[in-house]
A = this chain, B = another copy of it.
Amino acid sequence: MNISVNQERLSAELDTLATFSDAPAPAVTRVLWTARDLEARAYFQILCSEAGLSVRQDALGNIFARFEGTEPHLPAVATGSHTDAIPHSGRFDGCVGVLGGLEALRALKSAGFVPRRSLELIMFTSEEPTRFGLGCLGSRTMAGVLSPEKLRGLKDGDGIAFETARSAGGCSGELETVRLPEGCYHAFVELHIEQGPLLEKAGLPLGVVAAIAAPATLRLTIEGEGGHAGARLMPGRRDALLAGSELALAVEKAALSTGAIDTVGTTGFFQIHPGAVNSIPSRAQIEIDVRDIELERRDEVVGQIRAAWDEISERRGVSGALETLNADPPATCAESIVSASQNAAKALDLPFQKMVSRAYHDALFMARLCPTGMIFIPSKGGISHRPDEYSSPEEIKRGVEVLALSLAELAA
């Protein structure tokens, strides 16, 4: 089959999507159910309709655009990713998989391809944990890992209840309907930027993902004691910032302690109260991210962090319980999907390597529902979650071509 991807159209659409942002360009900030997120959703639905796909949205705002197959009763082949973006990040993370997925379906249509199984493009709700502290809200709920009850109990940083935010985001219906049965899809393939430096270093245009690292997220509110920075003497202070500082350094130490290159630990959120130069910090809110491709090693690092916190909090006389927001197992990609992507790369004469995804993706949860795989394209300088995140139009085009051929094989 001769696939023709319209590189200019796709670049222009990625440019337009990037304008729906609460940060000045080139930075992108697009948080769940903000006005910018709703604009991006509307734009995506318009493009899908224009492409002749039938569009539906579930109660959680996951959007499904369908290219009907000749045997529509068969489990469909799905692709997709997310369009939400953490504060001051870039324009390619997630968006390449959503708009690139759309371009793949358009290219297949143009090529006259008629799928036996239907093809579905999914825009997942809130892959990023920005608003409710938990990532992959859409795919996690679809896979039954996150219950509607737990969803309803979530609050954002401003204290807004999940259901209030969902309603303001234009979603209605019972959350119980979001969960999908195992086997509902025949396959899932996600196209994504690597977000790491390996493909660029190896000079390869393509990565076929064999496994997705296991993420864990911890949250903590440290309660110490405030007071006047001048008048309160040093002995007996219970400074929440200093306790938090020690914990952040302990996270780094624990991640380095495994000696494995695949272990990472980051304190990405750190906010103190009251935050005045002449006032001792009485409270610190902290979120920690730990990942590894090996579950046991990841959990050992989490254990080390917990032990460090026990020691720090007791010694400094501050309180606060380390809450586990999520601790997901890693996912292994299905041989059938890996094979389809490899076949596609070979057909297009593109060199590739098999690799691990250190970032997590909606694919991590889709892997619970059906055979799942991922296709990576290079990230310039290995940079992601930053305004200077970049993959070239040619790199994106090649990824879309591989995705299209993979979908074609799986849906044939």
Contacts and interface: CB of A to CB of B under 8 A. Distances in A.
A384 B270 CA distance: 24
A273 B227 contact: no
Contact of A281 (B227, B245, B268): B268
Interface stretch (A4-12, A82-90, A346-354): A82-90
A360 B230 CA distance: 7
Nearest to A289: B229
A252 B239 contact: yes
A360 B228 CA distance: 11
A261 interface: yes
A207 to B, nearest CB: 12
Interface string A235-269: 10001011011101100100110000101111111
A386 B227 contact: yes
B384 A231 contact: yes
Contacts of A345: none
Contacts of A130: 276
B217 A277 contact: yes
Which of A133, A234, A282 has most B Cβ within 10 Å?
A234
Contact of A269 (B232, B268, B276, B385): B276
Contact of A359 (B195, B231, B249, B289): B231
A274 B234 contact: no
B87 A276 contact: yes
A179 interface: no
Contact of A385 (B278, B359, B384): B278
Given A89-B274, A229-B291, A234-B252, 14 more contacts: A86-B276, A86-B278, A133-B277, A196-B228, A196-B231, A196-B232, A227-B383, A230-B358, A230-B360, A234-B263, A234-B264, A234-B265, A245-B248, A270-B281
23 contacts: A86-B278, A87-B274, A87-B275, A88-B273, A89-B274, A129-B276, A129-B278, A195-B230, A226-B385, A229-B291, A230-B291, A234-B252, A234-B264, A234-B265, A245-B248, A268-B279, A270-B270, A270-B272, A270-B275, A271-B271, A274-B385, A277-B287, A277-B289
Interface of A: 86-89, 93, 128-130, 133, 135, 194-196, 213, 215, 217, 226-235, 239, 241-242, 244-246, 248-249, 252, 255-256, 261, 263-282, 287-289, 291, 358-360, 379, 382-386
